[in-house]
């Protein structure tokens, strides 16, 4: 299980407590280590040894920045150890106006000065955690001795929001969210020039039209008035009524052209060069898929066409894999996914197999274009998925897409329904067109995960608990003297074989008219 290490100053304890609750809600399967957590320091421990051990075991190091934490000898030592071990590092600015060291200046921080409950900041933090977890690797430490225990320092006893907290001016200029003063805001500069100018032009236009002619087209000098004539009113004008609007329009056009030039110059003068950021801009689908799902009902199925094949998106989350009912499925254990993935909506069909020039040593028993491609062995299924720039799903991926966080017994629920699948009692001893029983669709929108044909997965058959790193996902070993796994049951089986947790093991070169497959794809 992945682990996050939090380094912070005691001054920011209240902030960190709230932050941890938010992170745990988004990542229920992660271990969050900080000194006061259930996984933290316990009475009698050698505290510095335990901290070094926790940093080494963590995948991501999170540094909560404030003036106090940046100056803290403890936090500095923890940060030094994380750098020595080449850990992925995320920095969070808990309060603005934090004076950063040169080492910290190189890392783009996440601005959370508005608090851990700020939804925009939380979204950026969640995306950063997902990204850094995906990049985390077990690297060898840099050639340096372990960071020594820091000298004892006096801890402040005040709260983070205490009025006596002094924050020096911000030296770091790279924060892309920093607000410019009003006199450097291009919108203010342009508005301050443009608005009075437009008012003056419009006022001049009305004045000129008034002086040029009345409402009936009569010159203004001939309009009756009760006001005494001034010397300016009696002066003859060199402009005719038809000249006035023409001159005014020309003046307006020249003014607007000049203003456009001014706008361009102003924008060039005052627009800041954007600071490169390591935080990707997430699409709506990515945001949804990267949000951990805790209930099947919280996910709305989403599908996408990849080169003519529909695939459904499977979001991140956790579920209980296996069951205590059968020896091959014990023990039931939790599996979590930190990255979304795509899965074929249906089993690979005869038409799809032909369209991508799939190769098999035997033709399908049933030739309809929408029938599942059967009489296929593991190697042929594996090679076909490769042709499509995809892969076979792992056992864990396949079961998660079928059961979801609710841990269902069947893709549609926990109760058997003979009308939701193609199985031994309703199949007429043959496969059916894929997707012909839409009521059996799983929570992510995948069809026929129970019944129709057994489906090859990538995994070697090995005992549970499932561990993708224990060799069962090895594709380079002996090609025939190992057993691979099929999942889901088929048109020739009783309902007991259609329970999602069921596993079938056989040699990878075995082919039957009961065996088919579907492909998976990493999230893009």
What's the CA angle centered on 240, arms 234 and 242, to 5 degrees? 140
Q: In 3D, which of 228, 229, 209, 227 has the Cα closest to residue 219?
A: 209
- Determine the Cα–Cα distance for residues 517 and 458; give it in Å rounded to an integer: 10
Q: What is the pLDDT of residue 34?
A: 86
Q: What is the pLDDT of residue 307?
A: 93
Domain ranges, ordered by start, for the chain: 3-135, 184-216+238-270, 285-522
480, burial (CB in 10 Å: exposed 0-12, middle 13-18, buried 19+):
exposed
Q: Please, what is the end-to-end C-alpha distance for the chain in angstroms?
A: 24
Tens-digit pLDDT profile for residues 59-72: 999 999 999 999 99
Q: What is the CATH number of domain 285-522?
A: 3.90.1580.10
Q: What is the pLDDT of residue 95?
A: 84
Q: Are 188 and 286 in contact (CB under 8 A)?
A: no
- Ranges of the chain whose pLDDT falls below 70: 1, 37-45, 137-145, 151-283, 286, 476-481
- Determine the Cα–Cα distance for residues 19 and 24; give it in Å rounded to an integer: 9
Q: Is 429 left (phi over 0), alpha (psi -120 to 50) or beta?
A: left
Q: What is the pLDDT of residue 354?
A: 96
Matching CATH topology for 3-135 and 285-522? no
Q: In 3D, which of 272, 307, 263 has the Cα closest to residue 521?
A: 307
Q: What is the pLDDT of residue 285?
A: 73
Tens-digit pLDDT profile for residues 224-238: 333 333 333 334 333
The proportion of the chain whose per-residue pLDDT surpasses 70, expressed as a percent, equals 70
> Which residues touch 325 (CB under 8 Å, ≥6 apart)?
501
What's the sign of the alpha-carbon dihedral 476, 468, 481, 520?
negative
Out of 3.40.50.880, 3.40.50.10490, 3.40.50.10140, 1.20.120.1750, which CATH number does the structure's domain 3-135 have?
3.40.50.10140
Q: What is the pLDDT of residue 481?
A: 65
Rounded to the nearest 5°, which phi and psi values hold at 303?
Answer: -125, 160
- Determine the Cα–Cα distance for residues 456 and 380; give it in Å rounded to an integer: 10
Q: pTM for the full model?
A: 0.51
């Amino acid at each position: 299980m992945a682990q996050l290490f939090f380094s912070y100053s005691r001054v920011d304890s209240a902030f960190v407590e709230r932050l941890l609750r938010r992170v745990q809600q988004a990542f229920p399967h992660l271990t969050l280590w900080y000194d006061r957590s259930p996984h933290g320091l316990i009475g009698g421990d050698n505290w510095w040894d335990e901290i070094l051990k926790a940093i080494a075991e963590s995948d991501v190091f999170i540094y909560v920045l404030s003036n106090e934490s940046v100056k803290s000898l403890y936090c500095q030592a923890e940060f030094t150890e994380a750098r020595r071990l080449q850990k992925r590092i995320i920095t969070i600015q808990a309060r603005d106006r934090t004076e950063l060291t040169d080492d910290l200046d190189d890392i783009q921080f996440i601005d959370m000065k508005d608090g851990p409950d700020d939804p925009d900041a939380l979204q950026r933090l969640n995306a950063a955690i997902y990204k850094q977890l995906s990049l985390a690797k077990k690297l060898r430490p840099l050639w340096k001795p372990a960071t020594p225990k820091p000298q004892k320092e006096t801890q402040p006893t005040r709260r983070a929001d205490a009025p006596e907290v002094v924050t020096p001016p911000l030296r770091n200029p790279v924060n892309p969210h920093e607000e410019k003063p009003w006199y450097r805001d291009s919108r203010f500069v342009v508005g301050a020039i443009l608005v009075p100018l437009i008012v003056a032009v419009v006022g001049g236009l009305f004045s000129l039209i008034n002086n040029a002619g009345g409402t009936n087209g009569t010159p203004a000098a001939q309009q009756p008035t009760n006001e005494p004539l001034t010397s300016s009113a009696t002066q003859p004008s060199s402009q005719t009524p038809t000249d006035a609007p023409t001159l005014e329009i020309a003046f307006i056009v020249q003014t607007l052209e000049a203003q456009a030039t001014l706008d361009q110059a102003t924008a060039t003068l005052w627009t800041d060069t954007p600071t490169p950021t390591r935080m990707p801009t997430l699409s709506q689908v990515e945001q949804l898929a990267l949000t951990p799902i805790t209930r099947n009902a919280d996910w709305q199925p989403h599908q996408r066409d990849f080169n003519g094949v529909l695939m459904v998106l499977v979001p991140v989350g956790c579920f209980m894999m296996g069951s205590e009912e059968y020896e091959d499925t014990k023990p039931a254990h939790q599996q979590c996914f930190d990255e979304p993935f795509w899965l074929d909506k249906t089993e690979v069909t005869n038409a799809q197999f032909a369209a991508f020039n799939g190769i098999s040593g035997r033709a399908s028993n049933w030739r309809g274009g929408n029938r599942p491609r059967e009489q296929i062995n593991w190697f042929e299924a594996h090679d076909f998925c490769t042709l499509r720039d995809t892969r076979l799903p792992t056992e864990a991926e396949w079961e998660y897409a079928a059961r979801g966080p609710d841990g269902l017994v069947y893709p549609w629920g926990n109760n058997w329904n003979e009308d939701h699948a193609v199985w031994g009692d309703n199949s007429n001893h043959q496969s059916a067109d894929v997707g012909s029983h839409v009521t059996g669709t799983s929570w992510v929108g995948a069809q026929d995960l129970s019944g129709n044909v057994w489906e090859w997965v990538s995994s070697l058959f090995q005992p549970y608990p499932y561990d993708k790193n224990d060799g069962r996902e090895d594709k380079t070993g002996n090609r025939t003297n190992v057993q691979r796994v099929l999942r889901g049951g088929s048109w020739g089986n009783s309902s007991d074989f259609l329970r999602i947790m069921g596993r079938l093991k056989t040699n990878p070169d075995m082919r039957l008219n009961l065996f088919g497959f579907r492909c998976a794809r990493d999230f893009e």
